[in-house]
Structure 1
């Protein structure tokens, strides 16, 4: 019999009734499962309760903290580690086995997690790899604090980066990420992300990139160049050619192309923000 993993899994949700059951069914080995729900109007809350998760309602007032930091600051978690998981992500046994080997005796403040992406019904085996610092030792840090002053409607730390006190490691086993629920939702979600990234870019540049020492080399490169005309095409070339996204067929091409559109939208929003004071 497998021992219980010393990890609290926290799943932020809003109208995730379609994805949540598959996510929850994979979590029997964890110390606890917490669903933090932003006023879902579907069966999300009922599913969470029925499947044994602890349900925490969350209503964001537009100020700090947002959803993930709210949990880290205000909730007593049952385990010394917290894994932030999206409802469209599913954890395989190989991931649990690696946690069981890695976490006992670990001196790390957090771990980077790797993901297997799916798009348009196909697993993307190539392209730019997705990874997040999503496994955090409780009490060793929070997601970066960004004062948004009402310019964002995103109630969860989507692009904010964890700032941890101590070294980090990496879990090699991948989480299965099925992040595709139709192009309409894909574009709507990424328009919101583009608005946020454009504002975040300007805040960082006003403060100076040196003020964000916690950013990785890859993140620092992105924020240094998001406003450059060539950056969307650079990302496409890296994802499609250098990282061999072309081997994923049409799904790989479309995903790289839509990312080109996304980064070009961010650049356009940045330009618009910079023109606005002079046009007023």
Structure 2
């Protein structure tokens, strides 16, 4: 059993959660915690059936959001914590490499994790890789502090990453990212993301205290965000340079949706920057 807490923030995840918990398995980690935001479906019942601990979270529209709130108010007793979304499924290869990494971590305080992306029922072979800093030592840091005033309805840190003090490693084996809630959910979710991204850009991009913690990918994204070309450039990079074309029609559709998302961020930025009458 690994000295690890897996924390899964959820809201109405009855479709994805059973597969997520099954993939973790029994006795693999010290504790599994479900951080629930008022689910109205069977999410909490499913968590209880799998023996996971359930914590209720109610957001007040300010800092901290769900992950930081959990770290501050229900700090894990284990050495490590892994934040996992309900549509992310641990693979056997990842679990083997995870165990080896935590048992021989040395000076490392966190790990970048790699993910597959499934779209329209199949794994994508091309496109931009998905990577997140979601595994770290308890007490080594927390997610970026962003004092928003309920810019969106999202009660969880989405595009922030933990700010850690110390050496960070990489686990190469991938976690499967599968969302079974369909394209409609994908589009609605990304509309909320676009609202948040535009608000963050306007309020914090010129704040040196925030920008200094950006990864190079974040810096590049925010440099391009004020340009109408951000969407087309994403499409060209994803579909052509990074091999999205290998997935045929699915790869094309996915690249178009992501291009639309970044174009939407640009439009929301310009809309917010217009003088108010």
Q: Match of 2:204? A: 204
Contact 1:117 1:179 in 2 (8 A): no
Alpha-carbon distance in 2 for matches of 1:279, 1:53: 49
Partner SS state of residue 179, structure 1: coil
Q: Match of 2:3? A: 6
Going from structure 1 to structure 2, the CA distance change for 1:222 and 1:65 (only over 3 Å counts) comes to: same
Partner SS state of residue 103, structure 2: coil
Q: Match of 2:151? A: 151
Q: Match of 2:92? A: 93
2:172 paired with 1:175: no
The Cα shift of 1:129 comes to 0.3
The Cα shift of 1:160 comes to 1.5
Alpha-carbon distance in 2 for matches of 1:183, 1:19: 15
Contact 2:117 2:178 in 1 (8 A): yes
Going from structure 1 to structure 2, the CA distance change for 1:189 and 1:255 (only over 3 Å counts) comes to: same
1:164-243 pair list within 5 angstroms: 164-208=164-208, 211-243=210-242
RMSD: 1.2
Contact 2:15 2:181 in 1 (8 A): no
Partner SS state of residue 215, structure 1: coil
2:12 paired with 1:15: yes
Contact 2:16 2:179 in 1 (8 A): no
Q: Match of 2:268? A: 269
Partner SS state of residue 240, structure 1: helix
The Cα shift of 1:104 comes to 2.1
The Cα shift of 1:230 comes to 1.2
Cα deviations across residues 145-203 of structure 1 (Å, max 9, x unaligned)? 11111222110001122111112111001001003522211110000000000011112
Alpha-carbon distance in 1 for matches of 2:77, 2:183: 38
Which structure 2 residue ranges, 5 or more long, are not aligned? none
Contact 2:190 2:261 in 1 (8 A): yes
Contact 1:7 1:83 in 2 (8 A): yes
The Cα shift of 1:211 comes to 4.0
The Cα shift of 1:103 comes to 1.4
Contact 1:5 1:99 in 2 (8 A): no
2:108 paired with 1:108: yes
Q: Match of 1:68? A: 67
Which structure 1 residue ranges, 5 or more long, are not aligned? none
Q: TM-score, normalised by structure 1?
A: 0.95
Alpha-carbon distance in 1 for matches of 2:38, 2:241: 42
